[in-house]
């Protein structure tokens, strides 16, 4: 039986990844500073621990592990990453997790490691035209990410590659493009646009309006988490190190995305575009490399993932309303 550790197992993608590994017959250890908010904690062993502490990394990464999945990071959507106020902690916390996990992997002789990078590492100058953003893997340099979060991811990609080069740890690096789905953060300030828009639509009175940050013409692609996990496993099983995009190529403007969610809800709502943290003007995954190297690319239509997510967020809101002290003012 293969043994793996998922660092960041209490998080959104980590929780789904643990389930996937277990369904494949793995024994899985999870580590995180917290349990999963939605009960998606199915690791065989779940250790509460802070990976910024090298002793914790040394304790949880044992020499019997076949694989490490390093997803622990200080992470959030535009409201967390692009305001500037969290920059120091994002860089400090995430880079410490990466350094400590890699060093422990080296010391314990673990041979294979996955790292979750982000599309935020791509240069801003290629993402100014909302209708024609460029995010092919080879467009990463000259580097000019628009956020410190992106700079940290770019540095850490290189860090993982140095451990591969100098210490023989096989690295597998993916650049995720805005992953969403059930059990993802949907409120509290770290939520990304797909969950935020689903929440706003689900909470709006029929006939009312919802607020969308910016002019709504900015573009993104959003990938349902099941496809993300499929991509992680396929990359891990391949002999390709990456970095490689794991994202959808179904680009959509934020206002059109909001219209899709409104349509799914069956409500009659208008869109009110307001100022807010924006990030890049346009972003879309480029799936040529993943198709070439893995013979696979995500294919689930956006609407299908949004229907599933809207329904899950609607349930969460109902659950919260049933317990009045949990309802935010």
Residues annotated as part of the active site: 149
- Interface residues for ligand NAD in 136-195 (CB under 6 A)? 176, 178-179, 185, 192
Among 79, 145, 182, 242, binds ligand GDD (CB under 6 A): 79
Number of residues that bind ligand GDD (CB under 6 A): 26
| Distance of alpha carbon 15 from alpha carbon 243, whole angstroms | 22
| Distance of alpha carbon 167 from alpha carbon 140, whole angstroms | 25
Q: 237, 234, 259, 256: which is closest to 246 by C-alpha?
A: 234
Neighbours of 249 (CB within 10 A): 17
**Residue nearest to ligand GDD according to CB distances in the complex:** 77
| Distance of alpha carbon 280 from alpha carbon 312, whole angstroms | 28
Strand 45-48 relative to strand 27-32, pairing: parallel
Q: 133, 117, 221, 220: which is closest to 176 by C-alpha?
A: 117
Q: 294, 313, 64: which is closest to 185 by C-alpha?
A: 313
52 interacts with, out of ligand GDD, ligand NAD, none, CB within 5 to 8 A per kind = ligand NAD
Q: Applying CB under 6 A, does 75 fall inside the site for ligand NAD?
A: yes
Binding segment (CB under 6 A) for ligand GDD, from list 129-137, 214-222, 238-246, 299-307: 214-222
Query: Is the Cβ–Cβ distance between 142 and 203 less than 8 Å?
Result: no
Number of residues that bind ligand NAD (CB under 6 A): 26
Q: Applying CB under 6 A, does 92 fall inside the site for ligand NAD?
A: no
Q: Applying CB under 6 A, does 174 fall inside the site for ligand GDD?
A: no
Q: Applying CB under 6 A, does 93 fall inside the site for ligand NAD?
A: yes
User: Which residue ranges make up the site for ligand NAD (CB under 6 A)?
Assistant: 8, 10-14, 32-34, 50-52, 71-75, 93, 97, 116, 118, 176, 178-179, 185, 192
Contact positions toward ligand GDD, by CB under 6 A?
Answer: 75, 77-79, 81, 118-120, 149, 176-178, 191-193, 196, 212-214, 218, 220, 254, 276-279
């Amino acid at each position: 039986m293969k043994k793996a550790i998922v660092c960041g197992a209490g998080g959104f993608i980590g929780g789904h990844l643990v389930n996937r590994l277990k369904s494949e017959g793995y024994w899985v250890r999870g580590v995180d500073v917290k349990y999963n908010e939605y009960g998606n904690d199915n690791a065989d062993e779940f250790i509460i621990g802070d990976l910024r502490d090298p002793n914790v990394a040394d304790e949880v990464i044992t020499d019997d592990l076949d694989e490490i999945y390093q997803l622990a990071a200080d992470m959030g959507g535009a409201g967390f990453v692009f305001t500037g106020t969290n920059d120091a902690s994002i860089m400090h916390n995430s880079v410490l997790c990466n350094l400590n996990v890699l060093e422990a992997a080296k010391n314990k002789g673990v041979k294979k490691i996955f790292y979750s990078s982000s599309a935020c590492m791509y240069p801003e100058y290629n993402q100014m035209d909302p209708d024609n953003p460029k995010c092919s893997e080879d467009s990463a340099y000259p580097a000019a990410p628009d956020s410190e979060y992106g700079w940290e991811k770019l540095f850490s990609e290189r860090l993982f590659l140095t451990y591969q080069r100098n210490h023989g740890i096989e690295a597998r690096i993916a650049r995720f493009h805005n992953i969403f789905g059930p059990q993802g953060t949907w409120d509290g300030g770290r939520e990304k646009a797909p969950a935020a828009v689903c929440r706003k639509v689900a909470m709006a009175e029929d006939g009312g309006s919802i607020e969308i940050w910016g002019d709504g013409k900015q573009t993104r692609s959003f990938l349902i988490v099941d496809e993300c996990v499929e991509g992680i496993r396929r990359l891990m099983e391949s002999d390709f190190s990456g970095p490689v995009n794991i994202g959808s190529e179904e680009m959509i403007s934020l206002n059109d995305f909001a219209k899709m969610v409104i349509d799914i809800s069956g409500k009659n709502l208008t869109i009110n575009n307001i100022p807010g943290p924006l990030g890049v003007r346009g972003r879309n995954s480029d799936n040529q490399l993943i198709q070439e190297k893995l013979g696979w690319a995500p294919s689930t239509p956006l609407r299908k993932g949004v229907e599933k997510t809207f329904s899950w967020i609607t349930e969460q809101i109902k659950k919260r309303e049933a317990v009045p002290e949990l309802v935010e003012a």
